[in-house]
Structure 1
Amino acid sequence: MPAETGLRAMLGGWPPAVLDPAGPYSKPVTQLSWALLVGGGVVFLIVLAALGIALWGKRAVRDRLGGDRAIWIGGVAFPVVVLTVLLAWGLWLTSDLQARGPRPGEMRVRVTGEMWWWRVAYLDGAGRAVVQDANELHVPVGQSVLLELESADVIHSFWVPQLSGKMDMIPGRRNLLRIQADRPGTYGGQCAEYCGGPHALMGFVVVAHTPESFRRWHAQRLAPPPPRDRGRGEALFRSSGCAACHTIAGTPARGLAGPDLTHVGSRRTLGAGILPNNPGTLAGWIAGSQAIKPGNRMPDYKQLRADELNDLAAYLAGLK
């Protein structure tokens, strides 16, 4: 595997492939995008041709193609007809992208945008959160998933280009968006609305499983947490104040300000899609997250010694 491809896989399909649809809700957006790109190119060529005729064309040709008739046809009728057809076709093509409510038995996930990461909650049939996660969404292949998009602070925008279009996340409002992956894989996403600070480093990962693999993953997440290691790593987690901001199921850590870390060791990335997840990057993130993602809300833990960082990172990496 080439180094670039391996890094792309580790970072969750980053950067996102904008014009490579992998599901039915992204294909209309891609078709419309190609139509706009090709149409814009054609119009640009027409303008260049008109400019060439106006500057260097023979007078007889300019007289024949110019005048009031050219203004009415090229300046009024042509754009009105083209834009009207494009509007009608675009509205018809994207009519199914705006979700209006859950379908019977449909999987539902609530994604909340926060400065500058994503809180993920898998919902049951009654809309209750049964599994918590962060910066990563797991879905079954071939099934539509209804996303309930919210914001905890400012306006964000959810965008996984291979699976659907963009949808804003507005404080005090819940917007609905459907996504679907037709092939297994890892798909990168990005906040598409400037939200201050490290907005450009607010990534997202969607992992599409085969139905059997997803059932195993979901059952594992619903199972009671296994007994946790009570060694030095967990002791450091508690004594360093990490539990004030983070939750780890099965332990006294119940903080809500930061991402849930119950299964942090199984995530593909750290820092909302910007680092591959392994003990080394975990230690680096804990010690100096501000150097990696300036402005994020996690302080640097420079007071920890190297051996303490390694023990703490090993503990977190073991939370599968």
Structure 2
Amino acid sequence: MSKGRIRTTAGAGILVLLAGCNPEQSAFAPAGVEAERINVLFWVMTIAGGFILVGVLVLSAVAIYGGETLRSQLSNERFITGAGIVFPAVVLSMLLVYGFVVLGAGAGTPPSPDGIRIAIKGEQWWWRLTYVDADGNSFESANELHVPVGQPIYLELTTADVLHSFWAPRLAGKLDMIPGRTNILTLTATEEGVSRGQCAEYCGGAHALMSFHVVAQTQEDFQAWVAKESGPAVKNENGRAARGRQLFLNAGCGGCHTIRGTRAAGAIGPDLTHVGGRHSLAAATLSNNAQAFAAWISNNQHIKPENKMPPYNIFTRPELEDLALYLESLK
């Protein structure tokens, strides 16, 4: 291998290691009760496994290089029974019980005081979120989960098509989304902040581009967000945004997307009522700005191949810019 190729490979390896240090999507930077339990269990099992590995290596060295007396002791039937059967059975049983205790396996979590439920449905390749309050009122969002800090939240996980897997590493473990059934995941955020999650089950060509953000907020901020998010879109009086709004409605975009407060009521694609206020576009594939909206509308099959939205090349450049400005204004 040439020196140049070695340097390139080493550089790529360093970049990968540095990327792994980002806490935004790291299970080693827990920000939820369930994730903290998983982190503790991981380190306990890793350290215990490390000690066992060292012990096995030492015994292997003794068996190879040790004196006749030591080697004969290792081959003793009593030692083999104790070290090869009793020790693994006891240690593994203890770790199993400890894992059940730490993770609270089988323990029920009381429902949230305000009765809020969040149903998350995996689509190809984005996330449909439906928030339902204690009175049965509901509203939809997409690709961004908001939760209050310190309150256990039930997530009802389903899928509209193939197997998906919901994983927010900083808050909880992963749980599969299986056609025909609903799985329940409970998570409790312990600190405010924005983290990132990912589909952890290969679900098709754009699987790697099926991510989401989790926003953990104080109770007051969460209630304020719910009040705003459940309402209709705020009408923008800017002339270009108003033209973009008319383009959106006249071009048939409302056949797939909903914008509450307008006649757009499609249910095929994500709800866009407050899309401009989210942290990203296209399931965390793009930044949230007018340029990204324009790129997605005209070139989405290149950005996320095989997604269900066709590219729209019917707009002139000024029309595309007006439409993008309108979508960006939906805060």
Which TM-score applies when normalising by structure 2? 0.85
Query: 1:151-184, CA deviations, whole angstroms, 9 ceiling, x for partnerless residues?
Result: 1112211111111122221222112121121211
User: How many aligned residue pairs are there?
Assistant: 309
In the alignment, which residue of structure 2 is the partner of 1:17? Answer: 26
Equivalent residue number for residue 104 of structure 2: 95
State the 1:275 CA deviation. Answer: 2.0
> Does residue 275 in structure 1 map to residue 282 in structure 2?
no
Taking the aligned partners of 2:251 and 2:231, their CA distance within structure 1 comes to: 28
Q: Would you say 1:255 and 2:270 are equivalent positions?
A: no
Q: After superposition, where does 1:77-116 map in structure 2 within 5 Å?
A: 77-95=86-104, 102-116=111-125
Q: Does structure 1 retain, via aligned residues, the 8 Å contact 2:301–2:310?
A: yes
Secondary structure of 2:222's match? Answer: helix
Aligned with 1:25: secondary structure?
A: helix
Kindly provide the amino acid, as one letter, of the partner of residue 322 in structure 2.
D
Which has the higher mean CA deviation after the structures are superposed, 230-239 or 94-103? 94-103
Distance 1:191 1:99, change over 3 A: farther
C-alpha displacement at 1:66, in angstroms? 2.7
Please provide the CA RMSD for this pair.
Answer: 2.3
1:50-103 C-alpha deviation (Å, 9 max, x unpaired): 332233233332222233233212221111111111111111222257657735
Q: Once the 2 structures are TM-superposed, how far is the Cα of residue 35 of structure 1 from its aligned partner?
A: 1.8
Q: Partner residue of 1:304?
A: 315
Percent identity among equivalent residues? 45
C-alpha distance after superposition, 1:245-281 (max 9, x if no partner): 1111111111111100000000001111222211111
Give the distance between the partners of 1:101 and 1:255, measured in 2 at CA: 35
Q: Relative to 1, partners in 2 of residues 1:226 and 1:79: Cα closer, same or farther, differing over 3 Å?
A: same
Q: Separation in 2 of the partners of 1:250 and 1:76? A: 68
Which moves more between the two structures, 16-25 or 94-103? 94-103
1:137-286 alignment runs, 5 A limit: 137-227=145-235, 231-286=242-297
Contact kept? 2:195, 2:215, Cα under 8 Å = yes
| Distance in structure 2 (CA, Å) of the matches to 1:68 and 1:31 | 37
Three-state SS of the structure 2 residue aligned to 1:280 is helix
Report the AA paired with residue 170 of structure 1: I
In structure 2, what is the Cα distance between the partners aligned to 1:306 and 1:164? 44
Q: Which runs of 5+ in 2 are unaligned?
A: 1-14
The 1-side partners of 2:128 and 2:273 are apart by 13
Q: Determine if contact 1:14/1:188 at 8 Å carries over to the other structure.
A: no
Is 1:74–2:87 an aligned residue pair?
A: no
Residues 114, 133 of structure 2: 8 Å contact kept: no
Conserved? CA contact 2:233–2:259, under 8 Å: no
Structure with the higher fraction of residues in helix conformation? 2
Stretch of structure 1 that moved more, 194-203 or 300-309? 300-309
42-51 or 164-173: bigger deviation: 42-51
Residues 26, 55 of structure 1: alpha-carbon distance in 2 compared, 3 angstrom cutoff: same
Structure 1: distance between partners of 2:108 and 2:140:
23
Report matched runs for 1:19-98 at 5 Å: 19-95=28-104
Matched residue of 1:231: which SS? helix
Residue identity in the other structure for 1:244: G
C-alpha distance in structure 1 between counterparts of 2:33 and 2:49, whole Å: 25
Tell me the TM-score normalised to structure 1 length.
0.88
